[in-house]
Chain A
Amino acid sequence: MNQKYMLPLAGVVLLFLLAYAGVEGAGLQWFFGIVIPYLAVIAFIWGFVNRVMGWADSAVPFRIPTTCGQEKSLPWIKQNRIDNPDTAWGVFIRMVLEIFLFRSLFRNTKAAFHRDENNRLSYSWEIFLWLGALAFHYAFLVTAVRHLRFFMEPVPWCLKALEYMDGIVQLGLPNIFMSGLVLLAAALFLLARRIFDAKVSYISLAADYFPLFLIIGIAVTGIAMRYFTKVDVVGVKEFTMGIVTFQPVIPAGVGPLFYAHLFMVSVLIVYFPMSKLMHMGGIFLSPTRNMANNTRAKRHVNPWNYAVDVHTYEQYEDHFRDKMIEAGLPVDKKE
């Protein structure tokens, strides 16, 4: 057993039990339902803003995009305007594709080494990481947006439309929301990759397993409440409306599972800004992707550029003058 994932797993189970027992045993609904979520939201906003401001404070001294296609050069050579953009518009398209479709990950290949008389290295297209990642992120997004219905009265039409689409596979009662199940399945896939792929397992840290277990815990408790324990939705809505209108109430009839779910969400958003999950903000600021490849056409200014010691031509000629004259090379000073 690998403690890199056993400890985070134990940690998440413990967090769950803490909230569950705290509510069920000690009646700490107000603590897990009101105090913690408010603090978590404050910590999230403060931490997120801080992190992004910290990045923005750092200079961008050089324009160093990674170019993934033909540059703009002679008029008859076709430029790849997206993968090697030279305009802001090209960069915008590149970023949109990167952020919404994970374009770079889409290119992923898998290397294989065939030990036979040819000893060939081959590279095949590897789409599963891209698929898993895309499914995970979009399911997460839809699930999160869907939850906004708890914080709004009346529920706006666009949320209802989203819910309708999410539940379009009409199975059972209540309707199955695909997003929750896809989220859980994708998270389990990403977890399995980390555990069973030797390379990914070797590079994984506790900090990679912890958020995965946490998200799996959140998804499982959510699904359990909706389909199995049938949480008192009216009570939950009363609670969440109380939270957003700053008149918190603890409704009767909402069980400890709900508070455990909420507590894990709170932990996730507190942990978010201090972890790798900040890739959500960082991708917008990545200089190898968000800059145009036009450095030779348009000068980029380095805010901290400073003068350096150089070996001047005069010093050079002083050093070599005799040899240069003898070799018939032109010189600036004859003696």
Chain B
Amino acid sequence: MSDELKPDELLNKIDHKPDGGDWMDTPVQIRPGMYCYAAKAESVKTLGLPNARPWNPAEDDWKLPENWQEIIHNGIKERLERFRTFKVFMDICVRCGACADKCHFFLGTGDPKNMPVLRAELLRSVYRNDFTRAAKLLKFLPGGEFLAGGRPMTMDVLKEWWYYFFQCTECRRCSVFCPYGIDTAEITIMGRELLNLLGLNIDWIATPVSNCYQTGNHLGIQPHAFKDMLEFFTEDIEEITGVNVEPQFNKKGADILFITPSGDVFADPGTYTCQGYLILFKYLKDKYGLDVTWSTYASEGGNFGFFTSHETMKRLNAKMYAEARRLGVKWILGGECGHMWRVIHQYMDTMNGPADFLEEPVNPITGTKFENAKSTKMVHITEFTADLIKHGKLELDKSRNANRIMTYHDSCNTSRGMGLLEEPRYVLKNVCDNFFEMPENTIREQTFCCGSGSGLNAGENIELRMAGGLPRANAVKYVHEKFGVNTLGTICAIDRAALSTLMEYWVPEVEVCGIHELVGNALILPGEHDREMDLRMEPLPGKEDIDE
């Protein structure tokens, strides 16, 4: 079984030199450990998406509609008109190979179809066959068809699409190196949209999307349970600090609406980051009277709709502005998350704006205008906290994080789809003294994905995830061995879950934390008692012997 695959065995499987042959003649093998289970019919139905039925990728019959080829053909045609990216990227790749060894899935699996260029060629070959005048003209010449390099859309091709478009985390690392900026994320997005036209989603995406649509968040946490969970944290924080942080919910007329991924409410170690937010908001309320509210309706920052289709992304994202308008807040603050921020930064205003019912965001405590967010009116929490720290508005005790020897993982989406690089580092360095960067080809815009992004954070594809996360883990291992790094900081909810598993597999000595967990530890709340534990309820540095 794949989940018993040892790290050494996984490493032994890697070979970066494809052995000849023609990739078009190499049929796909859908291998356990490398793919996610099919979307449940019920989830697909809730969203009103096509072809809801039970099916199994491992079986021959995928229960497709009779005219599936026509649906795909028309789907491609429509998207070529709607997206210049798609059309240009189908036409201009010269197959120079610069992207080939930039993909974490290729580096971790050695599967040549995980080279970004080939992933795109899976779709491009069909495009060339069905949509280019060249193919039609060349057909009349001897050898012309061979030169055109197309292939017809068959069931084998469709299965290959499904397998490999769900082996891409849309991280865009290849796009940084492409001389034409060809973005495989964009191609995977189109590929997945097309697959969704036939009802070929994976369940790890479809069910969270359906939950989010109906209940407000991916995990399907109902409003009262959401409140309960934050109240659990409140009790823990009171035990640690002696202060009741009193979160507010669905409060009309609050200054700021705060939205973060529901993963932070639900799963360790994201929960500690969530506690960090609660402590920060309490501090700002007591010191400066800032009124922040949480929402149970818009209780999801993440957007797995983005991994389904542009339309589904828009349907889920609509709740943020709708809730901000209903509550009458001034602007929106967003928590630590990767793809959530790609959606907010590059799509939200266009899809669901203009947000003319909100105010241009100003930090009421420092007076800083967030010029870069003046239209979308949503600010990233590390932009907000960095501004507070810069203006000396937070009282911080770094020594409470002295046991943490940190490195920092840039999330794909915030680095390559936004450029949020210095803000989290600034916050990190102000709450912790020990910080070491990973090697430069593995951070900032060249950062490596956790291997589980874009909805691939399931259990059944664990081999894929551990292989895809290898380049990231390998760089962490390097700083662990060189500088004794014991904690990997990140600003992404999927990272917090995925990197924890990844570290356990590759570098078990390293823990994962969010940046605001460290802020929560360092921030000195008015009226707090002498803290002895950090947010994980482990003894603070210097207080270790108290338990004994």
Contact = CB atoms under 8 A, between A and B. Distances in A.
A313 B149 contact: no
A297 B373 contact: yes
A80 B47 CA distance: 41
A164 interface: no
A289 B416 CA distance: 12
B415 interface: yes
A108 B223 CA distance: 49
Interface in A128-144: 129, 133
Interface in B310-353: 310-311, 314-315, 318-319, 322-323, 326, 344-347, 349-351, 353
A282 B176 contact: no
B92 A278 contact: yes
B228 to A, nearest CB: 7
> Which residue, of A11, A115, A278, A299, has the highest number of chain B Cβ atoms within 10 A?
A299
B384 to A, nearest CB: 10
A63 to B, nearest CB: 6
A297 B371 contact: yes
Contact of A301 (B179, B213, B350): B350
Interface string B68-89: 0000000000001111111111
Interface string B245-263: 0000111100000000000
Interface string A28-65: 00000000000000000000000100111111111110
B56 interface: no
Contacts of B223: 320, 323-324, 327, 329
Contact of B350 (A51, A118, A288, A300): A300
Nearest to A209: B147
Interface in A294-335: 294-302, 304-305, 308-313, 316-317, 319-320, 323-324, 326-330, 332
Interface in A77-115: 77-78, 80, 83-84, 86, 98, 102, 104-105, 107-111, 113, 115
Given A66-B183, A308-B318, A310-B319, A294 B350 contact: no
Given A313-B297, A330-B251, A207 B368 contact: no
B447 to A, nearest CB: 11
A108 B251 CA distance: 51
B53 to A, nearest CB: 21
B372 to A, nearest CB: 5
Interface residues of A, number: 108
Contacts of B446: 109
B148 A207 contact: yes
The size bracket of the interface on B is 35 or more
A193 B252 CA distance: 64
B474 A276 contact: no
Contact of B107 (A70, A121, A201): A121
Nearest to A283: B180
Contacts of A76: 390
A33 to B, nearest CB: 22
> Which residue, of B180, B250, B426, has the highest number of chain A Cβ atoms within 10 A?
B180
B38 interface: no
A73 B372 contact: yes
Interface string B410-438: 00000111111111001000000000000
A71 B372 contact: yes
Interface in A118-161: 118-123, 129, 133
B546 interface: no
Given A70-B421, A282-B91, A327-B224, A199 B100 contact: yes
Contact of A71 (B85, B251, B418): B418
A141 B176 CA distance: 26
A283 to B, nearest CB: 5
A55 B87 contact: yes
Contacts of B228: 327
Interface in A187-226: 193, 197-208, 210
A104 B96 contact: no
A200 B183 contact: no
Contacts of B172: 66
B416 A67 contact: yes
Contacts of B224: 320, 323-324, 326-327, 329
A329 B250 contact: yes
A102 B81 CA distance: 28
B212 to A, nearest CB: 9
Interface of chain B, main secondary structure: helix
B11 interface: yes
Interface of chain A, main secondary structure: loop
Contacts of B21: 202
> Which residue, of A11, A61, A121, has the highest number of chain B Cβ atoms within 10 A?
A121
Interface stretch (B113-121, B495-503, B529-537): B113-121
A72 B415 CA distance: 13
B403 interface: no
B244 interface: no
A86 B421 contact: no
Contacts of A63: 346, 350
Contacts of A121: 107, 470-471, 474-475
Given A67-B445, A77-B426, A310 B318 contact: yes
Given A302-B350, A308-B314, A69 B322 contact: no
Given A74-B390, A206-B149, A98 B176 contact: no
B505 interface: no
Contacts of A115: 11
B84 A199 contact: no
B474 A119 contact: yes
Contacts of A73: 370, 372, 383, 420, 423
B95 A77 contact: no
A317 B311 CA distance: 24
B155 interface: no
B232 interface: no
A168 interface: no
A61 B146 CA distance: 35
Contacts of A51: 91
B378 interface: yes
Contacts of A299: 349-350, 353-354, 375-376
Contacts of B183: 64, 66, 288
A234 interface: no
Given A64-B417, A121-B107, A210-B147, A203 B115 contact: yes
Nearest to B353: A299
> Which residue, of B23, B179, B444, has the highest number of chain A Cβ atoms within 10 A?
B179
Contacts of B143: 7, 11
Contacts of A298: 375
A221 B426 CA distance: 61
B351 A329 contact: no
B255 to A, nearest CB: 17
23 contacts: A7-B146, A55-B84, A60-B83, A60-B84, A68-B419, A70-B422, A80-B419, A105-B96, A109-B102, A118-B477, A123-B442, A199-B112, A202-B18, A202-B118, A274-B134, A279-B94, A295-B347, A295-B376, A296-B378, A299-B354, A299-B375, A320-B223, A330-B249
Q: Lowest 7 CB-CB distances: which A-B pairs, in order?
A: A71-B419, A274-B134, A282-B92, A327-B224, A288-B181, A67-B419, A123-B441
Given A66-B417, A69-B444, A203-B112, 20 more contacts: A58-B86, A67-B416, A67-B419, A68-B419, A71-B420, A73-B420, A98-B179, A107-B177, A199-B97, A200-B95, A200-B96, A202-B112, A286-B92, A287-B84, A295-B346, A296-B344, A296-B376, A297-B371, A301-B350, A311-B213
